[in-house]
Amino acid sequence: MSAPLKGKVALVAGATRGAGRGIAVELGAAGATVYVTGRTTRERRSEYDRPETIEDTADLVTEAGGRGIAVPTDHLDPAQVRALVDRIADEQGRLDVLVNDIWGGEKLFEWDSALWEHDLDKGLRLLRLAVETHAITSHHALPLLLRNPGGLVVEVTDGTADYNGDHYRVNFFYDLAKSAVLRMAFALGHELGPRGATAVALTPGWLRSELMLDTFGVREDNWRDALERVPHFAISETPRYVGRAVTALAADPDVARFNGTSLSSGGLAREYGFTDLDGSRPDAWRYLVEVQDAGKPADTTGYR
């Protein structure tokens, strides 16, 4: 089907850029009405101080074939989230897909800093943005999602449960935040499953987000120029790849088989047969274990 999600309503919380934008656009390409939220608008920037806006994301959703609706929302403010969900209920009467992609921590965590060395205010702010926002959003959105059977909740994180269970991720605060989101999906799976809905955790691989491309001084059309400095960046993927993973899950009538589990874009590409925009199928988390962490030279043969 060219529009398998036509008539479906999605909320992508944290859709200004990166994975959230890629997910929103792919849901739109599948025909969904997509509410996109964030704190950066054409009138006001968040502390990220970047040019991407939620209005831009909504326009991309509409251009892809869906209907994009931008709603400025600070997901740390329960009143704003409640108003957002009330608006969706009034305008659509349903919510079929909730994607919790709120993060906002790139400028807050300090690489390889021990807990007692890390700026405490920044660390606690990171936890609030990465964990508390997800809980607030789910608290207000899930009653609407449960009005109809078959709802899907996607908790976006960094790392699979298997990988994060055995690996220390960056520092105390980052490790705790990403592991907490994995556990949220597990807990929500127990609460939603008996009520006819599904919750999963989902991680992209090495994401070629706007911020990552800027960091390496490249664009999407010449990203391979960064490989001389960062060879393992060869396994990276566009934000649309994880978007296609979410769309495949949302269109799967048997998605409940994944309830409460941890998934990756690369793993779901094998399951459903979709590809990234360039036709490749990167499997970053398998590559990370078998090549990068193993100390082998960068070689994506058999991994994309």
Per-residue pLDDT tens over the stretch 212-256? 999 999 999 999 999 999 999 999 999 999 999 999 999 999 999
Furthest CA-CA distance within the chain: 55
Distance CA 50, CA 89 (A): 31
Q: What are phi and psi of 299, to 5 degrees?
A: -160, 110
Residues 155-169: what's their mean pLDDT? 96
Average pLDDT over residues 128-140: 98
Residue 1: predicted pLDDT: 55
Lookup: tokens for 258: 């994944």
Strands 67-72 and 97-100: unpaired
Buried b (16+ CB within 10 A) or exposed e, 201-230: bbbbbbbbbbbbbeebebeeeebeebeeee
Q: 100 is written with which tokens?
A: 């919790």
> Which of 156, 182, 290 lies closest to 235, judged by CA?
290
> What is the side-by-side order of every strand in the sheet holding 9-13?
67-72, 33-38, 9-13, 97-100, 152-156, 198-203, 262-264
**For the chain, what is the mean pLDDT?**
96
pTM here is 0.97
Mean pLDDT to the nearest integer, 47-53: 90
Residue 296 DSSP code? P
**Alpha-carbon torsion (125, 139, 246, 41), positive or negative:** negative
Name the CATH topology of 9-209+239-280.
Answer: Rossmann fold (3.40.50)
Q: With contact defined as beta carbons under 8 Å apart, do 52 and 17 qualify?
A: yes
- The reply to whether 174 belongs to the active site is yes
Q: Residue 123: which of 110, 104, 133, 112 has the closest Cα?
A: 110
CA–CA separation, 281 vs 176, rounded Å?
Answer: 29
User: Which tokens belong to 304?
Assistant: 């994309």
Residue 189 pLDDT? 98
- Does the pLDDT of residue 105 top 90, yes or no? no
Residue tagged active-site, from 163, 174, 287, 303: 174
Q: What percent of the chain has pLDDT over 90?
A: 95
